[in-house]
Structure 1
Amino acid sequence: MASEKVETIVAGNYLEMEREEGDSKSTKSRLSALFWHGGSVYDACCFSLRLCVMGNNGFTYAVCLFIWNYRTRKEREKVDFRNHVIQWFEVLDGLLGKHWRNVGLLFNCTFLLFGSVIQLIACASNIYYINDNFDKRTWTYIFGACCATTVFIPSFHNYRIWSFLGLMMTTYTSWYLTIASFIHGQVEGVKHSGPTKMVLYFTGATNILYTFGGHAVTVEIMHAMWKPQRFKLIYLTATLYVLTLTLPSASAVYWAFGDMLLNHSNAFSLLPRSGYRDTAVILMLIHQFITFGFACTPLYFVWEKFVGVHDTKSVCKRALARLPVVIPIWFLAIIFPFFGPINSTVGSLLVSFTVYIIPALAHMITFSSPSSRENAVERPPSFLGGWAGVYSMNAFVVGWILVVGFGFGGWASMLNFIQQINTFGLFTKCYQCPRKA
């Protein structure tokens, strides 16, 4: 009974919206509802799968618990969220105050900014292996203009068909890499030495941090769901599926090429060109376009709120207001086109705080008093050890990530990043491009 009451409270305004729009929905195109306006469990699953949200379900659970507490409190105060998207910094503000809000806003926006930069760099890196008539910098100009069209997509609700298609695309690409690597076989003299220096070890570790950091947009995805309290189960399901894609492909490519991957940030560059490879590249380009939109949408929301147009229903007015967000992303992708090293740098300096340290500390502080634990909308499950288990897990991860991820990882990733600048220079035209005969 208690969980049913919580579900009713959390989903409150969504249910009202459905009732209010019931009469008008019959006049809308069913195709529009099918492809454009999504908020179901399946949409959330596709969102999570598309973001490659691997592992760290404990942290996702902590974030979910924050959102439910914040939304429940606001629902009881009769706050209307129909034209307002809840974001992470607002949750921190509502539960912990403005100082936490400011810190969360700084790290989250910076991470999403560079996450969008990475997707744009990846677009240029991938398309080059189909058409090398243009250098990667020129392709960055082109795809920057293409990705700017995401300003016309209002919210995560409207990524329904894109999320589903993106899932199919990443599935194809992952299994292509697996099968193609086994068919290709091991290169002559292949070596699997692993990290031979501390710099390489911690650079790899921070790449894993970046890969595991996809739940930075958990709040916005949950808000897009009709029943956001179901997100934690969907996230777990997505995690298990994503592992079936990432582990086989990564293992197969490393088995075939070994240490060559240290100097080839893009695995497509090592596989022979074929129709299957070109198909995988094209699908990944579309995937990265969609992921650019996923990463940028929360930034759009923040900027809309800053300039005062977030509550307007005019798509064109909101799109025009969003354009300034794309310009610095475009510019940074041209300055730092270091596909690979930039991922580990973002992982160590930004993901460490955005995804791990800030949520863990906030969870510990929010539920430190007996009264706050008593009034929580949901208690931690027994298999996590209850409140004591979650508190211990948070404390351990804060210490571990601070020392290993931010400390040693930041040192290693910055050394690697500076080395790329010294080797290739800023604004390099074609990062890691093979020399033409």
Structure 2
Amino acid sequence: MESRLESGLGDKGGSLEVENGIGQDDAAHEKGHGGGGAGSGSGTSSFIKKAVWHGGSVYDAFLNAVSAQVGQVILSMPTSYAQMGFKLGLFFHFLYVIIGVYTCYLLARLYVEYRARKEKEGVDFRKHVIQYHELLGALVGPWARNISLFFNIITVGAVAVIQIIACASNAYYLNSKLNKRTWAIIFGAASLTVDLLPTLHNFRVFSFIGALTTTYTSWYMLIAAITRGQPAGVKHTGPKNLRLFFTGTTNILFGTGGHAVTIEIMHAMWKPVRYKYVYLACTIYVLFITVPHSYALYWSFGDELLVENNALGHLPESNARSTALIFMIIHQAIAFGLYIMPLNFMWEKYWGVHEAAYWKRVLVRIPVGVLLWFFALLIPFFGPLNSVIGSLFMSFSVFIIPCVVYTIVFWTPTARENAAEKPGIVRRALGYRTMFGANFLVIVTIAVLGVGFGSYASIANIILQVKSFGAFQACYQCKG
């Protein structure tokens, strides 16, 4: 089993091949039957389809992971540093990144275990996208399926909602003649077009653009902060109080929990067993586009960042800033697609059309997008909302639950001996007992800091925002 997994879990031509629910193998794609019914064509059109459409490589998984991991949160992270201060901001940033990498590794192993067990039973996944709640339910029991389903629906749904809110915020800085609610109506409608993409297997060109946009924006903000310098009288008083401090930590937690779509991204790979390396590379890359600009902007603006959650709102108007705003709007539309896709799959399965014709799946998806659009208009506070989702839901869905389930699945010696993926050098050196201890430590840390203090701070903060601005606010934190 070990050699089979390492040489071809999801490899082309193998029994574990994954085409992310499209339902055809590579030969069928060559004939033009995959990805929503595109017709066959010339060699040039076939090359274009491969180049921009059918992506199941490690490279594609890296781009999907980067685009899902970091987006509009880079605009609110400088405020988090202002809420926590320099030293504690860096400490919690790296702490949550390490925990995020570890828990994503656990999820990747659970996927491999579930996939191997099911295919031994003869289950064919070429037309079915494996999802988080399905594998937890099969490995542990119905209670794990139901709990993970609840938390993950809210997590990915809220992240998708936040993308619409952030689109409206950025568009307002480009053209303040329209208020943010109007921009949210426009972008909410435009975002429904992502339903046309069949699966995460078809995001290659979009995720490439998504990675470019955040990279440009982050480094633009870094250069702008350094160029501006530190004016006289700038204050760095963070952390001011517990509410602001833990609001900041939970926003960082939110920014390191992009592996809520890990299972769907893995399922889109030809060799999903390699995803653990992909996510490590993704995290290192993301650190380079989140830490430098957050630190530099706080150094330059200080406590001013506490007034406005969108860091671009503090920078002077320029062509470079306008480009960053446009790029972030593009990225957020792509991220919306990445996070709504798991909800689309769940909804398709509920109505029994997940393996049906492409057009049926697209029609069934529409109510999901409309509901998220409504919530984006209802609570237009994307900074405070990040913290609420990070503390109340993401803490469970991507940090606590994977640790609990992994411990249960591999608790017995028999389960460890029969594991589909055999331990590598590092895991053999650590041993399962060490990993179980690490799981317990992560559970306690996230439960106390994320769920406990984080929930108190984030809920208090968003209640304050609702009291100050109200629901369905036309223009939250607008000029004047």
TM-score range, shorter chain: over 0.9
* Structure 1 Cα separation of the partners of residues 134 and 6 of structure 2: 21
Gaps of 5+ in 1: none
1:327 counterpart letter in structure 2: V
2:394 counterpart letter in structure 1: V
Residue 68 of structure 2 is aligned to residue 24 of structure 1: no
* Structure 2 Cα separation of the partners of residues 19 and 173 of structure 1: 36
What is aligned with 2:439? 394
What is aligned with 1:49? 66
2:167 counterpart letter in structure 1: C
Question: Per the alignment, in what secondary structure is the counterpart of residue 349 of structure 1?
Answer: helix
Quickly say closer, same or farther: Cα 1:3–1:262, change in 2 above 3 A.
farther
Residue 250 of structure 2 is aligned to residue 237 of structure 1: no
* Structure 1 Cα separation of the partners of residues 461 and 423 of structure 2: 40
1:283 counterpart letter in structure 2: F
1:32 counterpart letter in structure 2: K
Alignment of 1:56-205 (within 5 A): 56-205=100-249
Question: Per the alignment, in what secondary structure is the counterpart of residue 29 of structure 1?
Answer: helix
1:202 counterpart letter in structure 2: F
Quickly say closer, same or farther: Cα 1:209–1:306, change in 2 above 3 A.
same
* Structure 1 Cα separation of the partners of residues 30 and 404 of structure 2: 46
What is aligned with 1:220? 264
* Pairwise CA distance, 1:318: 1.1
* Structure 1 Cα separation of the partners of residues 394 and 28 of structure 2: 39
* Structure 2 Cα separation of the partners of residues 10 and 186 of structure 1: 52
Residue 364 of structure 2 is aligned to residue 321 of structure 1: yes
* Structure 2 Cα separation of the partners of residues 149 and 396 of structure 1: 42
* Pairwise CA distance, 1:21: 2.5
**Contact conserved, 1:7 with 1:229, CA < 8 A, in 2?**
no
Residue 2 of structure 2 is aligned to residue 2 of structure 1: yes
Identity %: 47
1:121 counterpart letter in structure 2: I
* Pairwise CA distance, 1:247: 1.0
What is aligned with 2:400? 357
Residue 457 of structure 2 is aligned to residue 412 of structure 1: yes
**Contact conserved, 2:30 with 2:46, CA < 8 A, in 1?**
no
**Contact conserved, 1:379 with 1:386, CA < 8 A, in 2?**
no
* Pairwise CA distance, 1:14: 1.8
Deviations 1:187-220 (A, max 9, x none): 4421111112111111111111101110010000
**Contact conserved, 1:216 with 1:354, CA < 8 A, in 2?**
yes
**Contact conserved, 1:379 with 1:387, CA < 8 A, in 2?**
no
State the number of aligned residues. 434
* Structure 2 Cα separation of the partners of residues 22 and 126 of structure 1: 38
1:103 counterpart letter in structure 2: I
* Pairwise CA distance, 1:7: 4.0
* Structure 2 Cα separation of the partners of residues 291 and 221 of structure 1: 13
* Structure 2 Cα separation of the partners of residues 210 and 379 of structure 1: 31
Greater Cα shift, 225-234 or 25-34:
25-34
Deviations 1:255-296 (A, max 9, x none): 111111111100111000000000010001000000000000
What is aligned with 2:252? 208
Quickly say closer, same or farther: Cα 1:390–1:145, change in 2 above 3 A.
same
* Pairwise CA distance, 1:155: 0.3
* Pairwise CA distance, 1:300: 0.3
2:209 counterpart letter in structure 1: L
* Pairwise CA distance, 1:5: 4.8
Match of 1:14 among 17, 26, 32: 17
* Pairwise CA distance, 1:19: 5.7
* Structure 2 Cα separation of the partners of residues 9 and 334 of structure 1: 43
* Structure 2 Cα separation of the partners of residues 111 and 421 of structure 1: 21
Q: With the length of structure 1 as denominator, give the TM-score of the two structures.
A: 0.96
Alignment of 1:235-314 (within 5 A): 235-314=279-358
Question: Per the alignment, in what secondary structure is the counterpart of residue 185 of structure 2?
Answer: helix
* Structure 1 Cα separation of the partners of residues 229 and 371 of structure 2: 42
**Contact conserved, 1:182 with 1:256, CA < 8 A, in 2?**
yes
1:31 counterpart letter in structure 2: I
**Contact conserved, 2:10 with 2:18, CA < 8 A, in 1?**
no
* Pairwise CA distance, 1:20: 4.2
Deviations 1:327-357 (A, max 9, x none): 2211111111012001001100001100111
**Contact conserved, 1:309 with 1:318, CA < 8 A, in 2?**
yes
Quickly say closer, same or farther: Cα 1:313–1:7, change in 2 above 3 A.
farther
Match of 1:374 among 389, 397, 417: 417
* Structure 2 Cα separation of the partners of residues 207 and 8 of structure 1: 38
What is aligned with 1:427? 472
Greater Cα shift, 20-29 or 84-93:
20-29
Question: Per the alignment, in what secondary structure is the counterpart of residue 21 of structure 1?
Answer: helix
Q: With the length of structure 2 as denominator, give the TM-score of the two structures.
A: 0.87
Quickly say closer, same or farther: Cα 1:152–1:236, change in 2 above 3 A.
same
Quickly say closer, same or farther: Cα 1:9–1:43, change in 2 above 3 A.
closer
* Pairwise CA distance, 1:33: 1.6
* Structure 2 Cα separation of the partners of residues 59 and 7 of structure 1: 24
* Structure 1 Cα separation of the partners of residues 329 and 442 of structure 2: 34
**Contact conserved, 1:10 with 1:75, CA < 8 A, in 2?**
no
**Contact conserved, 1:87 with 1:219, CA < 8 A, in 2?**
yes
